[in-house]
């Protein structure tokens, strides 16, 4: 269980576990983060909008499908997109502990803006990790190299950060050799999507590696774009506390189902209905939320 110094100011969660160690809030991540105490979070993982929904197509399971993921993924123009990235990163920096750190995943469409915003805000960029997708979709136009990687930026709160890094654990996981910044990981397994799927869902193995590498048991992990709840499931499996923020009820319910399945609690009906439900109205304005 984790405590918040100003719990009375935090909006009612959409869902929380009995021990308060897994919480979901519905709303604009910038407004929910503003309710958290300053310097209260150990680790943040964020998978913000890539702004890829442009009417194009891609290949999934051998079929051509639309790349449109939702209004939250539609570009508002370079300047507006960057202003959004700057605003949510500023909200994240305020809540990070002095020695806390943040991982942000993105493709070429957004990651340069994220990196520049980090520099503007005074984050200390620690690594740029290349996640190699072992089975990427083919390039349908045959005019480019096949897109097979995503970049994950790892940054400390500022230049004075003495960030936590589980060096020995990562070395052991890598067969006794120093772990490099090139990670070869497959997409989510079928079992990770059995309650439903999200268009940009990340593999559990990716989040578990990040959480093990950059936090200790009992730490508070926050995901401002919670989506299907992969970060939350990984946090629960590894003994960390979790707070996720998400706009869409569909994905909030998906995250709840995945968490409750982890504890063998999924059922057609539940007696404690008070544990879930919409957050109190706080005038949340829509933002370009991307969800895993």
How much is the mean pLDDT over the chain? 84
Domains and CATH numbers, the chain: 7-275 (3.40.50.150)
End-to-end CA separation in angstroms for the chain = 24
pLDDT score, position 265: 55
Of the candidates 72, 78, 112, the residue with the CA atom closest to the CA atom of residue 198: 72
Q: For residue 100, what pLDDT is reported?
A: 98
Residue 32: its H or E element: helix 29-35
Q: What is the pLDDT of residues 252-279, one digit of tens each?
A: 999 999 999 998 854 333 333 335 554 3
For the whole prediction, is pTM greater than 0.85? no
Q: Does position 62 have pLDDT exceeding 70, yes or no? A: no
Range from 133-137, 207-211, 218-222 carrying the lowest mean pLDDT: 133-137
């Amino acid at each position: 269980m984790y405590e918040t110094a100003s719990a009375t100011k935090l909006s009612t969660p959409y869902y929380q576990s009995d021990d308060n160690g897994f919480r979901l809030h519905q709303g604009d991540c910038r407004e929910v983060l503003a309710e958290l105490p300053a310097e209260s979070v150990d680790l943040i993982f964020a998978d913000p909008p890539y702004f890829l929904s442009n009417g194009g197509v891609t290949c999934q399971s051998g079929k051509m499908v639309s790349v449109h993921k939702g209004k939250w993924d539609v570009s508002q123009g370079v300047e507006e997109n960057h202003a959004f990235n700057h605003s949510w990163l500023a909200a994240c920096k305020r809540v990070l502990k002095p020695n806390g750190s943040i991982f942000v995943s993105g493709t070429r469409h957004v990651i340069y803006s994220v990196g520049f915003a980090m520099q503007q805000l005074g984050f200390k960029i620690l690594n740029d990790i290349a996640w190699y997708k072992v089975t990427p979709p083919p390039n349908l136009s045959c005019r480019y190299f096949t897109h097979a990687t995503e970049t994950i930026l790892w940054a400390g709160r500022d230049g004075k950060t003495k960030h936590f890094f589980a060096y020995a654990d990562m070395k052991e996981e890598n067969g006794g050799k120093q772990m490099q910044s090139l990670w070869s990981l497959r997409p989510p397994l079928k079992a990770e999507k059995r309650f439903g799927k999200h268009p940009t869902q990340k593999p559990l193995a990716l989040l578990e590696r990040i959480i093990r590498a950059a936090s200790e048991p009992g730490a508070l992990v926050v995901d401002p774009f919670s989506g299907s709840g992969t970060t939350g499931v990984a946090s629960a499996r590894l003994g960390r506390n979790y707070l996720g923020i998400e706009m869409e009820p569909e994905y909030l319910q998906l995250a709840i189902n995945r968490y409750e399945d982890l504890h063998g609690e999924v059922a057609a009906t539940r007696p404690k209905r008070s544990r879930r439900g919409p957050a109190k109205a706080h005038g949340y304005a829509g933002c370009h939320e991307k969800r895993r």
